[in-house]
Amino acid sequence: MSEDELEDDRPRRRELTCLASGSVTGALLGMLAANLIPSGRNAAIAIGAVIAVGAILGGFASALIAPHLSLEEWNPQLHQHSYVGTNSPDDDIR
């Protein structure tokens, strides 16, 4: 096995997923806030700026939250030991 297969990449995937979902959520909230901007000469620039600021703030907020998510709760490993069978911990040792 190579080192790449042995390395646990769950923290990197968790951070990227949180960053993407936070940015999309921020952009959507920015779009909702942009509806409050009255139409005018520079409305398109203002709307784009509000959406961009929302995406940046959403990404920043999710980057702050990501380290507080447990790796096992976010994405459990596939190689969990099953306690079903003859070696289960509740067997009486005689």
List phi, psi (to 5°) of 91: -70, 140
CA-CA distances (angstroms) from residue 83 to 50, 68, 72, 87? 53, 29, 18, 7
Inform me whether the pLDDT recorded for 13 exceeds 80: yes
* pLDDT per position as a tens digit, 21-76: 999 999 999 999 888 888 888 888 888 999 999 999 999 999 888 888 887 776 66
**Residue 50, Cβ density class (10 Å: 0-12 exposed, 13-18 middle, ≥19 buried):** buried
Q: Quick one: pLDDT at residue 49? A: 92
Whether 94 shows a pLDDT value over 70: the answer reads no
Higher per-residue pLDDT: 51 or 77: 51
Q: Phi/psi of residue 77, each to 5°? A: -70, 155
Would you say residue 89 has pLDDT above 90? no
d(CA 22, CA 65): 10
